[in-house]
Amino acid sequence: MPELSSSSPSHSHGTDPAHGAEHAHAHPHEHAHGVLTLDERHDHEAQTYDEMARTLLAQWRDADYLVSPDQIPFANREHVDFLTDAVQRLGPLAGRRILEVGVGGGSLAVWLALQGAEVVGIDVSSGILAVAERRAQVNGVADRVSLVHSPVESFDSAEHGLAAGGFDAIIGNNVVHHFDRDLALANLGRLLRPGAVAVFCEPVLFLPEWTRRVRNSRLVTRRFPMHTHSPDERSLGAEDFATMRRWFARVEWTPYQVLCRLQNFVELSDPMWHRLESIDRILLRRIPPARRVCRLAVVTLALPTKGA
């Protein structure tokens, strides 16, 4: 492991206001439990994943950390289609410098390194980075995976001596909906090499705001609990795509899962999941408005502009 370094997840740095702690405090984020500052969100996120990591580190044996170089490591059946698409969008992997944001337990980072990429993985949780570090060691790619304890909003690769000139690609699986969108996307634009792509797999909800309020209401969540890890995560909506367009010249998205959204409410059996997924593929191909009600999107960003 060349690096397991830390820029404090609670304190930003640099002269650009987008990096500044003051700026972070000026962007409180509303959620069901009130208004959180960016630092509070990072602390909360770190605690959630630190706790998860404590259990994994206590229970896992080396075999549990193994990643096969022959197959993209899917967390579960839901990830197969969209993560395959996302990885293909990165292009050739060997020898490329790839940044994974919200690297979590490191399965994807390690798999990318097994394909020959030089990977930098960042995360706000030091606990989950310890899981990623162990995984890199067990799979023999610790020399090609650098792990940095930092929130994406203030990550500065130069400070860690990493990827001068920008990363050849950036990837994140289920992460942007945890970030402060404006700060994170602005920073990702700075970290990406011009002409390279950043690819994210994210839950999306393009329905009117009142549908979120109904979904989040006690009446509905009592009967159909939310499958979320942190209280302030929020599926990407139209306003987030507008933010992406401020920082990137190319913003494209590919929709996945429509009827599969039922999984948000009830546990679907494998056969039912696969049946619905097949219908969804047809729906999304033949009926363009179905895009507006999809559950997941693979978002591709490129050519950062100077921003508004």
Ligand X SMILES: C[S@@+](CC[C@H](N)C(=O)[O-])C[C@H]1O[C@@H](n2cnc3c(N)ncnc32)[C@H](O)[C@@H]1O
DSSP 85: H
Q: Work out which of 128, 204, 268, 276 binds ligand X, going by CB under 6 A.
A: 128
Site string for ligand X, 169-208 (x = CB under 6 A): ----xxx--xx-----------------------------
Cβ proximity to ligand X: between 67 and 122 the closer is: 122
State how far the Cα of 251 lies from the Cα of 245, in Å rounded to an integer. 6
Cβ proximity to ligand X: between 187 and 254 the closer is: 187
Quote the least distance from Cβ 90 to ligand X, whole Å.
15
Sign of CA dihedral 224, 228, 234, 238: negative
Using DSSP's 3-state secondary structure scheme, residue 172 falls into strand
Quote the least distance from Cβ 174 to ligand X, whole Å.
4
Cβ proximity to ligand X: between 105 and 255 the closer is: 105
Quote the least distance from Cβ 275 to ligand X, whole Å.
25
Quote the least distance from Cβ 208 to ligand X, whole Å.
25
Site string for ligand X, 230-269 (x = CB under 6 A): ----------------------------------------
Quote the least distance from Cβ 170 to ligand X, whole Å.
12
Query: Which H helix or E strand runs over 57?
Result: helix 38-59
Strands (E) across the chain are located at 4-6, 29-31, 34-36, 97-101, 118-123, 145-149, 167-173, 192-203, 248-256, 296-304
State how far the Cα of 155 lies from the Cα of 179, in Å rounded to an integer. 13
Pairing of strands 296-304, 192-203: antiparallel
Cβ proximity to ligand X: between 14 and 194 the closer is: 14
Q: Work out which of 19, 23, 78, 104 binds ligand X, going by CB under 6 A.
A: 104
State how far the Cα of 45 lies from the Cα of 128, in Å rounded to an integer. 11
Query: 123 with 129: CB under 8 angstroms?
Result: yes
Quote the least distance from Cβ 282 to ligand X, whole Å.
27
Query: 120 with 148: CB under 8 angstroms?
Result: yes
Phi, psi angles (nearest 5°) of residue 75: -65, -35
Site string for ligand X, 136-165 (x = CB under 6 A): ---------------xxx------------
Cβ proximity to ligand X: between 152 and 185 the closer is: 152
Please count the other Cβ atoms lying within 10 Å of the Cβ belonging to residue 34. Answer: 11
42-61 residues near ligand X, rule: CB under 6 A? 42, 45, 49
Task: Indicate whether 7 belongs to the interface with ligand X (CB under 6 A).
Answer: no
Burial class of residue 238 (count of CB atoms within 10 Å of its CB; 0-12, 13-18, 19+): exposed
Residues contributing to the site for ligand X (CB under 6 A):
42, 45, 49, 75, 102, 104-105, 122-125, 128, 151-153, 173-175, 178-179, 229
